[in-house]
């Protein structure tokens, strides 16, 4: 939970969150919620966090389609919609 909070704080401090639009931001928020709630299997947590961070970078850089592909893969991995 500390890691998810730290990642979220870092994202906000870098200003990437405002650059995220629509579905990208929604998907990242769902992944953040799953990470914060402990819903993610500990064996998959690092991978999901890496995918989430990659999606933030892609979406923040305007590559929303690629970012959504990464979030879709992360959500499928942890079993959320």
Burial annotation 21-47 (CB, 10 A radius, 16+ → b, else e): eeebbebbebbbebbbeeebeeeebee
> How many other C-beta atoms lie within 10 A of the C-beta of residue 2?
7
User: Is residue 57 very low, low, confident or very high in pLDDT (cuts 50, 70, 90)?
Assistant: very high
User: Is residue 16 very low, low, confident or very high in pLDDT (cuts 50, 70, 90)?
Assistant: very low
User: Is residue 36 very low, low, confident or very high in pLDDT (cuts 50, 70, 90)?
Assistant: very high
- Position 27 scores a pLDDT of 95
- Its pTM stands at 0.72
């Amino acid at each position: 939970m500390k890691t998810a909070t730290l990642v979220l704080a870092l994202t906000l401090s870098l200003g990437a969150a405002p650059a995220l639009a629509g579905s990208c931001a929604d998907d990242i928020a769902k992944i953040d919620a799953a990470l914060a709630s402990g819903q993610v299997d500990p064996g998959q947590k690092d991978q999901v966090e890496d995918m989430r961070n990659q999606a933030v970078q892609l979406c923040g850089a305007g590559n929303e389609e690629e970012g959504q592909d990464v979030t879709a893969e992360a959500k499928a991995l942890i079993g959320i919609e």
